Amino acid sequence: MSASEDLHKRRLAAVAPGVTSAISSYVDNAAGGTLTDVDGREWIDFAAGIAVTSVGNSAPLVVQAVQDQVARFTHTCFMVAPYESYVSVCEQLNALTPGTFEKRSALFNSGAEAVENAVKIARYATRRPAVVVFDHGYHGRTNLTMALTAKVMPYKDGFGPFAPEIYRAPMSYPLRDGLSGEAAAARAIDIIEKQVGASNVAAILIEPIQGEGGFVVPAPGFLPALADWARSAGAVFIADEIQTGFCRTGDWFASTHEGIEPDLITTAKGIAGGLPLAGVTGRASIMDTVHAGGLGGTYGGNPIACAAALGAIETMRTLDLAAAARRIGATITDRLASLDHPAIAEVRGRGAMVAVELVKPGTLEPDAALTSSINKACHAAGLLTLTCGTYGNVFRFLPPLVMPDAILERGLDILSHAFDNNH
Ligand code: PLZ
3 state DSSP class of 84: helix
Q: Cis peptide before 154, with omega less than 30 degrees from 0?
A: yes
Closest CA to 54 of 300, 254, 283, 315: 315
User: 286 Cβ partners below 8 Å, 6+ apart?
Assistant: 121, 122, 125, 236, 263, 264
- Strands (E) across 110-250 are located at 130-134, 166-169, 201-206, 236-240
From residue 36, how far is each of 4, 6, 29, 413 by CA, in Å? 11, 16, 5, 19
Q: Whose CA is closest to atom 3 on ligand 1?
A: 243
Calculate how far, in angstroms, residue 46's C-alpha sits from the geometric centre of ligand 1.
17
Q: Kindly tell me the burial class for residue 375, based on how many C-beta atoms sit within 10 Å of its own C-beta (0-12, 13-18, 19 or more).
A: buried
User: What are the beta bridge partners of residue 383?
Assistant: 44
Determine contact, residues 97/103, Cβ cutoff 8 Å. Answer: yes
Do strands 42-45 and 383-384 pair parallel, antiparallel, or not at all (unpaired)? parallel
Q: Whose CA is closest to atom 16 on ligand 1?
A: 139
Closest CA to 400 of 340, 280, 315: 315
DSSP annotation of 269: G
Amino acid at 353: M
Per-residue pLDDT tens over the stretch 129-145? 999 999 999 999 999 99
Q: Which atom of ligand 1 is nearest to the CA of 50?
A: 9
Q: Kindly tell me the burial class for residue 32, based on how many C-beta atoms sit within 10 Å of its own C-beta (0-12, 13-18, 19 or more).
A: buried
Distance, in Å, from the CA atom of 97 to the CA atom of 262, rounded to the nearest integer, reads: 9
Per-residue pLDDT tens over the stretch 3-27? 999 999 999 999 999 999 999 999 9
Calculate how far, in angstroms, residue 111's C-alpha sits from the geometric centre of ligand 1.
6
Distance, in Å, from the CA atom of 422 to the CA atom of 108, rounded to the nearest integer, reads: 43
Instruction: Supply the pLDDT for residue 366.
Output: 98
Instruction: Supply the pLDDT for residue 112.
Output: 98
Average pLDDT value over all residues in the chain: 98
Tens digit of pLDDT at every position of the chain (423 positions) = 999 999 999 999 999 999 999 999 999 999 999 999 999 999 999 999 999 999 999 999 999 999 999 999 999 999 999 999 999 999 999 999 999 999 999 999 999 999 999 999 999 999 999 999 999 999 999 999 999 999 999 999 999 999 999 999 999 999 999 999 999 999 999 999 999 999 999 999 999 999 999 999 999 999 999 999 999 999 999 999 999 999 999 999 999 999 999 999 999 999 999 999 999 999 999 999 999 999 999 999 999 999 999 999 999 999 999 999 999 999 999 999 999 999 999 999 999 999 999 999 999 999 999 999 999 999 999 999 999 999 999 999 999 999 999 999 999 999 999 999 998
Calculate how far, in angstroms, residue 341's C-alpha sits from the geometric centre of ligand 1.
31
Residue 358 belongs to what H/E stretch? Answer: strand 353-358
Do strands 42-45 and 34-37 pair parallel, antiparallel, or not at all (unpaired)? antiparallel
Q: Whose CA is closest to atom 20 on ligand 1?
A: 111
Q: Which atom of ligand 1 is nearest to the CA of 154?
A: 11
Alpha-helix runs per DSSP H in 52-83: 60-72
Other residues' Cβ atoms within 10 Å of the Cβ of residue 361: 14
Total H helices, total E strands in the chain: 14, 15
Do strands 130-134 and 166-169 pair parallel, antiparallel, or not at all (unpaired)? parallel
Residue ranges, comma separated, of all CATH 3.40.640.10 domains in the chain are 61-319
Instruction: Supply the pLDDT for residue 321.
Output: 98
Pocket test residue of 142, 212, 246 for ligand 1, highest count of atoms within 8 A of CB? 212
Residues near ligand 1 with C-beta < 6 Å? 50, 110-112, 115, 138-141, 207, 211-212, 240, 242-243, 268
Instruction: Supply the pLDDT for residue 95.
Output: 98
Determine contact, residues 221/181, Cβ cutoff 8 Å. Answer: yes
b/e per residue, 124-163, with b = 16+ CB within 10 A? bbbebebbbbbbbbbbbebebbbbbbbbeeebeeeeeeeb
Residue 32 belongs to what H/E stretch? Answer: none
- Phi/psi for 335 (5° steps) reads -65, -45
Q: What is the dihedral of CA 144, 150, 153, 154, to 10 degrees?
A: -50
Amino acid at 36: T
Instruction: Supply the pLDDT for residue 10.
Output: 98
Amino acid at 166: I
Calculate how far, in angstroms, residue 45's C-alpha sits from the geometric centre of ligand 1.
19
- CATH number for region 61-319: 3.40.640.10
Say which CATH topology domain 3-58+320-420 has.
Aspartate Aminotransferase, domain 1 (3.90.1150)
Percent of the chain whose predicted confidence (pLDDT) is above 90: 100
Pocket test residue of 19, 157, 216, 269 for ligand 1, highest count of atoms within 8 A of CB? 269
Distance, in Å, from the CA atom of 109 to the CA atom of 278, rounded to the nearest integer, reads: 5
Per-residue pLDDT tens over the stretch 39-65? 999 999 999 999 999 999 999 999 999
Residue ranges, comma separated, of all CATH 3.90.1150.10 domains in the chain are 3-58+320-420
Q: Whose CA is closest to atom 7 on ligand 1?
A: 111
